[in-house]
Amino acid sequence: MEEKLLEIEQKYTEIQKSLETPEVYNDLKLSGRLSRQISEMEPVVTAFRRYKALKQQIAEGRELLSDPEMRELAKEEIDAAEAALPGLEEEIKLLLVPKDPNDDRNVIIEIRGGTGGEEAALFAHSLYRMYSMYADIRKWKTEVVNLNETELGGIKEISFMIEGAGAYSRLKFESGVHRVQRVPDTESSGRIHTSAATVAVLPEADEVEFSINPADLQIDTYRASGAGGQHVNKTESAIRITHLPTGTVVECQDERSQHKNRDRAMKILASRIYDEERRRQDAELAAQRKGQVGTGDRSERIRTYNFPQGRVTDHRIGLTLYKIDAIMDGALDEIVDALTVADRAAKLSAGDGE
């Protein structure tokens, strides 16, 4: 591990020096890329330098053990340094876990009501509200792209974007089946119903990463519509784009402008295709890490929201919290943090076994 850390520190120092040269400093694109590299490497280098300082403290302390006047002080310093080393080593191991290249991206979230009829649609609305409130807490921007509502205020399907630093890193573990157990407002006998909704979290694709051949697209326009007359438009501003090679279909009708709907639909289409390609590339690696948290098997039941008991359980890590009201109001950080730690530990374990 120390050899790898020395290489990182050396590269860090080299980049720092290059940023001070006029040719790099005046190249905004290059200096920006190198500055981002420095920022990513800095936590590892800082921790490694603390590690080297502790090792140096132990070595110097052992040299002083033979001095009767300094023996007690030296022993105290050695004990303190040796006690701090294991925790610092674990911190460094976690910092060395490869970062997901998508972590800093914006996200597109798609929620669909699953089994359970109208109650599933109402639960889908509750999930949309939960993520919207979480975005507000983190000062992120939320923008609805496509919405298909029911007469009772539920959501059959919704696509929305969340823009903000680290959005994907915080929301990538939300993909999957979310199950709810509660007494619906329409249930007069007080019987608890179980229903579900599916969530898909897609990293927003950069336009430069790949291009979509216009010949592969079928683009249809139609009149926007919505429950109870919402979003009804007399002009054909809604857009449906079909990517013929993959059969991927994207609809966008939230904007009055056909041009804006088309731009948004293309953005979602690119993100979906990018996401599917990413999943294919990650399949082999995921198979090697059977214990990992996982970021998107949409058929996997990942979480249960039990309203009568006031609890939320994430089945992947066995976490149960009795604070359902706060969680439904967007207090997701405790769950997100636990999932992030579990994923890092799984990746670290997989790395040790290679």
The pLDDT score that the predictor gives to residue 348 is 65
Which single residue is written with the structure tokens 């919402």? 230
Q: Using a CB cutoff of 8 Å and minimum separation of 24, what contacts does 204-211 make?
A: 204/105, 204/106, 204/107, 204/108, 204/161, 204/168, 204/267, 204/271, 205/267, 205/270, 205/271, 205/273, 205/274, 205/275, 207/270, 209/274, 210/270, 210/273, 210/274, 210/277
The pLDDT score that the predictor gives to residue 285 is 46
State which of 71, 96, 121 marks the end of a domain.
Answer: 96
State which of 96, 117, 136 marks the end of a domain.
Answer: 96
Question: 304 with 179: CB under 8 angstroms?
Answer: yes
Amino acid at 314: D
The pLDDT score that the predictor gives to residue 344 is 78
* pLDDT of 226 higher than 60: no
Q: What are phi and psi of 152, to 5 degrees?
A: -95, 10
Structural domain harbouring 66 = 2-96
The pLDDT score that the predictor gives to residue 333 is 95
- Does 158 fall in a domain? yes
- Do both 293 and 148 map to the same domain? yes
- Does 352 fall in a domain? no
- Does 62 fall in a domain? yes
The model's confidence at residue 299, banded by pLDDT at 50, 70 and 90, is low
The pLDDT score that the predictor gives to residue 191 is 87
Domain holding 129: CATH number?
3.30.70.1660
Q: What are phi and psi of 172, to 5 degrees?
A: -65, -20
DSSP state of 234: S
* pLDDT of 296 higher than 50: no
- Does 223 fall in a domain? yes
Give me the chain's average pLDDT, please.
83
| 307: helix, strand or coil | coil
- Do both 134 and 201 map to the same domain? yes
Higher-pLDDT residue of 274, 164: 164
The model's confidence at residue 75, banded by pLDDT at 50, 70 and 90, is very high
- Do both 152 and 260 map to the same domain? yes
Q: What are phi and psi of 177, to 5 degrees?
A: -95, 125
The pLDDT score that the predictor gives to residue 208 is 43
The model's confidence at residue 252, banded by pLDDT at 50, 70 and 90, is confident
- Do both 114 and 73 map to the same domain? no
- Do both 117 and 6 map to the same domain? no
- Do both 78 and 197 map to the same domain? no
- Do both 19 and 135 map to the same domain? no
State which of 96, 115, 130 marks the end of a domain.
Answer: 96
Question: Tokens for 33?
Answer: 């890329």
The pLDDT score that the predictor gives to residue 48 is 93
Q: How far apart are the first and last CA of the chain?
A: 14
- Does 354 fall in a domain? no
Residues 130-153, mean pLDDT to the nearest whole number: 92
Higher-pLDDT residue of 207, 11: 11
Percent of the chain having pLDDT more than 90?
42
The pLDDT score that the predictor gives to residue 167 is 94
pLDDT in tens, 163-212: 998 899 999 999 999 999 998 876 667 788 899 999 999 888 765 455 67
- Do both 192 and 309 map to the same domain? yes
- Does 102 fall in a domain? no
- Do both 203 and 293 map to the same domain? yes
- Does 91 fall in a domain? yes
The pLDDT score that the predictor gives to residue 264 is 77
DSSP state of 247: T
Please count the CA atoms within 13 angstroms of the CA of 306 that sit on its side-chain side.
12
Residues 86-99, mean pLDDT to the nearest whole number: 83
Total domains present in the chain = 2
The pLDDT score that the predictor gives to residue 237 is 73
Residues 213-241, mean pLDDT to the nearest whole number: 68
Range 223-250 burial, b when 16+ CB lie within 10 A, else e = ebeebeeebebeeebbbbbbbeeeeeeb
Burial class (CB in 10 A: 0-12, 13-18, 19+), 252: buried
- Do both 83 and 222 map to the same domain? no
- Do both 89 and 134 map to the same domain? no
Q: Say if pTM beats, i.e. exceeds, 0.75.
A: no
| 154: helix, strand or coil | coil
- Do both 111 and 42 map to the same domain? no
